[in-house]
Amino acid sequence: MTKNTKVSLTVVAVVVAVVAALLVFTTRGEDAPAAQADAPPVVPASILVRPDSHRLSDPAGAKVTVVEFLDLECEACGAAFPGVERLRAEYGDRVTFVMRYFPIPSHQNAELAARAVEAAGQQGKLEPMYRLMFEKQPEWGDQQVSHRDTFVGFARRLGLDTAAFETALDDPATLGRVLADRTDGADIGVEGTPTFFVNGVKFSGSPSYQALKAVLDRELAK
């Protein structure tokens, strides 16, 4: 073998090694983002749960937090409500449940209903009003007339000071509190209701009792 032949073979071997290394590097570089994309994004807790967010259940030391963005006039939210209440009864000592408003503009009374729940909360009756809204939803939902009188009647039924309730109902600060929730929801990708987040991860699929229960069990087992 001549000297020139040896040199040529050496050069070829080096080129092959460099090309192989580049191919491996490129392949790894392409695989890395794909692997990361498989992991669902986690929304920061500071956005999902604000200091003034309504915690319907908040046990000490809970390692699982469920946040629901809801529209009180939404039929799907009304359908999910019994399952959520059942989960709260079963997991309320281990899981934090947070309710956040997301009234859909096309729903005539959704924003007013959220303000009514918020106004009731100022007299310590947020949760009873929240429940009553869903229990009585068929009577007031999906209608193109104002149900202000209906909600004042709910306040009276709950034993609230109705004058104070109506003052709070019309307070711009009450509306601002509701819209702040909706803004947060829109910022993190909420498009419809109900939308659930479990430990910061958006829940996908039908929000049935069984489906949500499976996610809670999985998170609690970690």
Does 133 reside within a domain? yes
User: Considering the entire predicted model, what is its pTM?
Assistant: 0.82
Q: Which domain holds residue 165?
A: 45-221
Mean pLDDT for the chain overall: 87
pLDDT at 35 over 60: no
pLDDT at 40 over 50: yes
pLDDT at 28 over 90: no
pLDDT, mean of residues 20-36:
41
Does 40 reside within a domain? no
Transcribe the chain into DSSP letters. Answer: --HHHHHHHHHHHHHHHHHHHHHHHHHHHHHHHHHHHHSPPB--HHHHS-TT-EEEE--TT--EEEEEEE-TT-HHHHHHHHHHHHHHHHHTTTEEEEEEE---TTSTTHHHHHHHHHHHHTTT-HHHHHHHHHHTHHHHSS-SS--HHHHHHHHHHTT--HHHHHHHHH-HHHHHHHHHHHHHHHHTT--SSSEEEETTEEP-S---HHHHHHHHHHHHH-
Does 197 reside within a domain? yes
Does 50 reside within a domain? yes
Does 5 reside within a domain? no
- For 197-218, letters b (16+ CB in 10 Å) and e give bbbbebbeeebeeeebeebbee
Q: What is the pLDDT of residue 55?
A: 97
Query: Could you give the number of structural domains in the chain?
Result: 1
Does 61 reside within a domain? yes
**Any idea what the CATH number is for the domain that residue 140 is in?**
3.40.30.10
Q: What is the pLDDT of residue 37?
A: 52
Q: Tell me the pLDDT tens digit for each residue of 154-189.
A: 999 999 999 999 999 999 999 999 999 999 999 999
Q: What is the pLDDT of residue 206?
A: 87
Q: Tell me the pLDDT tens digit for each residue of 76-124.
A: 999 999 999 999 999 999 999 999 999 999 999 999 999 999 999 999 9
Does 205 reside within a domain? yes
Does 19 reside within a domain? no
